[in-house]
Amino acid sequence: MILLRFKNNYTFTCAFLTACYTGMRTGEVFALTWDDIDLDNRIININKTVYAKDKGESGRWYLGTTKTPGSQREVYICDSLYTVLIDYKNIQNNLKNQYGKKYKRYIIEEVKNKFGKLVEYKIMESYSKRNRVEMVFTRKDGAYSGTDIIRYPFKIIHHELGINCRFYDLRGSFATKALRIGNEIKDISKLLGHSRTETTENYYITSTTNDLIKICESIEKEIDINLRDKF
């Protein structure tokens, strides 16, 4: 339903499916640059996150380190996501040609603390080729708006489609589905960038009433078999 509603919003659908197929955090998805995506080897390198700070004229979006050192990881690009990313990149390249010099470009500027230590990078609009960064999820004219780009689509999802969810919930959905089809919790935890499996189990795996019913039914069958064998 969601994908059908936004079939003409290529940026949103690509970001949405990237989260669905990888379990990435929201900030990790929108921090992606094309240098992070190795389409030849089908790997996404997750090594940073994006967040908003000041509202200065030169931009308010910053790139920083991932939530924890263990959150830096590689995620495999499955066939479905590979096709989506290839199509999206082609669309974006066509838009660059259409807009020409009007297509917005960005650089990253180092931000250091008072001790001279690099703490983050600021994303700034600039046509300079030095420190240029190619953000993946942008508007048609190349404008980068970080996670703001999903604000309007999610208003539609909430009010028009009547679905109460957040972009971040796709991460929990990924974890739950991965566990249900038989994957090991330790592998799911590593893929999500968690240092402890307890974090994955306690905060990302959800149970429905049907799940609990299935457990009781499976135990019932096991007990019945044992009872029949003994009596």
**55 token code pair:** 């509202």
Place of tokens 């979006």: 61
Predicted TM-score (pTM) above 0.75? yes
What residues in the chain have per-residue pLDDT under 70?
Answer: 55-59, 194-196, 198-220, 222-231
**152 token code pair:** 């309007």
**15 token code pair:** 């970001």
Q: What is residue 231's predicted lDDT score, i.e. its pLDDT?
A: 40
Q: What is residue 230's predicted lDDT score, i.e. its pLDDT?
A: 43
Q: What is residue 181's predicted lDDT score, i.e. its pLDDT?
A: 77
Q: What is residue 142's predicted lDDT score, i.e. its pLDDT?
A: 97
Q: What is residue 103's predicted lDDT score, i.e. its pLDDT?
A: 97
Residues contacting 163, CB < 8 A, separation 6+: 1, 2, 157
Report yes or no: 174 and 58 within 8 Å, Cβ to Cβ.
no
Q: Are strands 61-64 and 106-112 parallel, antiparallel or unpaired?
A: unpaired
List the chain domain ranges: 2-159, 169-230
Burial (CB count <10 Å: 0-12, 13-18, 19+), residue 51: middle
Q: Tell me the pLDDT tens digit for each residue of 54-90.
A: 765 556 899 998 877 778 888 889 999 999 999 999 9
Which amino acid is present at 27? G
Report yes or no: 16 and 3 within 8 Å, Cβ to Cβ.
yes
Q: Tell me the pLDDT tens digit for each residue of 178-189.
A: 877 777 777 778
**38 token code pair:** 């190795």
Q: What is residue 139's predicted lDDT score, i.e. its pLDDT?
A: 97
Cα distances (angstroms) measured from residue 187 to each of 37, 56, 182: 21, 42, 11
Architecture per CATH, domain 2-159, reads as Orthogonal Bundle (1.10)
